Amino acid sequence: MIPFNRASFDGKELSYLATAVEGGHTAGNGPFTKQAERMLSAMHGGAATLLTTSCTHALELSARLLDLQPGDEVIVPAYTFVTTASAYAWNGARPVFADIRPDTMNIDVDDARGLVTERTKAICIVHYAGIGAEPDAFAQLADDHGIALIEDNAHGLGARYGGQTLGSFGAMSTLSFHETKNITCGEGGALVINDPALLERAEILREKGTDRSRFLRGQVDKYTWVDLGSSWVLSDLLAGVLVGQLERFAEIQAARMRIWERYADELRGWAAANDVRLPAITPSAEHPAHMFFLVLPDDTARDRYIQHMQRHGVMSVFHYQDLATSAMAERLGSVRECPNAQAAAGRLVRLPLFASLSTDEQSQVIEATLGFAR
Ligand SMILES: Cc1ncc(COP(=O)(O)O)c(C=O)c1O
């Protein structure tokens, strides 16, 4: 069976892991953490970057930095991973769900604009598949209303919009290094901080609410409990693996891009003939080849496609459910009809896409797809 994803640690990842073990600094904030943070910061125009244990935890950290109060609202897309919404709900805000655009699967700026009220504290956008979710328009919207913009950039490390790096538009942005991402250390994440005023408190919250980072820099002679934080520091073992992956960034991206382009070229005719939509790359977006998805004409066709691919030895997988009609949305009083999110939940499917997918394996995926008629 051709898997949906297969992470490859073919560079120095394992030797760096051994180096961390031998060097004796296996907890967080060690030499590999610093190195990974420097590399990520350089990719974001020098913005401070804090490694975290996951993108979910980076989102939770961003939520704590917003100082949410009961009654506050945070606008998020209805079609996203659960924790884009739960991070803010967990910290006391009511998530307000905006629908997505049917072409890019990204949060719809006009729908979001209509949801802003005096209770709105922030908007968290998701760059689905790393295709920029009109971050310039959202930055303007956030500015117009004096609210914070956060970018959940779990999919889009290194991608650009209008020539500007994704993750550099909002006050903060988050990254994921989960095994399904282009660059991975198994589980991991980062918070990129574009608003320098947030940095000192972010460091404190990530260190269990203590000023330990200041202590480690010699700025205070003991560290103590100063705020409500949690344990969001990534182990240096995993940071070592991450540095090994980041060193191979260009090579991994190039391999993924070749695979992405081949899917696009060889499936275009079949898609048009079968009323299937391929990812829409808007003119301002430079995407990171994170995901190749198909949108089938209806739910039945999507489910039949997944079964057909399975019979042909290929694992293809659907993605998010619509959060705006979830049981938790009901408990939070956040239920809303988002027809495009509902359609995406029922019709979208993702194809195997990873740097070590061989030409023959990809041919098998393509041939199996060409053999499917709705
Ligand atoms: C858009 C989005 N945000 C956040 C996450 C959570 O990432 P993590 O698994 O690193 O917590 C994911 C997971 O895939 C995601 O797709």
Q: How confident is the model at residue 374 (pLDDT cuts 50, 70, 90)?
A: confident
Contact 91, 74 (CB under 8 A): no
* pLDDT confidence of residue 216: 86
* Ligand 1 centroid from CA 83, angstroms: 7
What average pLDDT score do residues 365-370 get?
A: 98
* Ligand 1 centroid from CA 189, angstroms: 9
Query: Is the pLDDT score of 354 beyond 90?
Result: yes
* Ligand 1 centroid from CA 153, angstroms: 9
pLDDT (tens digit per residue) in 127-176? 999 999 999 999 999 999 999 999 999 999 999 999 999 999 999 999 99
Query: Is the pLDDT score of 200 beyond 80?
Result: yes
Pocket test for ligand 1, best of 79, 81, 185 (most atoms within 8 A of CB): 81
Gap between the Cα atoms of 40 and 58, Å rounded: 14
56 lines ligand 1 (CB under 6 A): yes
Domains of the chain in start order, with CATH, are 13-247 (3.40.640.10), 249-370 (3.90.1150.10)
Amino acid identity, position 354: F
Question: Mean pLDDT score of the chain, rounded to an integer?
Answer: 97
pLDDT (tens digit per residue) in 159-172? 999 999 999 999 99
* pLDDT confidence of residue 361: 98
Contact 263, 287 (CB under 8 A): no
Widest distance between CA atoms in the chain: 69
pLDDT (tens digit per residue) in 214-259? 888 899 888 899 999 999 999 999 999 999 999 999 999 999 999 9
Token pair 């042909």 in the structure block, residue: 312
* pLDDT confidence of residue 116: 98
* pLDDT confidence of residue 236: 98
- What is the total residue count of the chain? 374
* pLDDT confidence of residue 213: 87
83 lines ligand 1 (CB under 6 A): yes
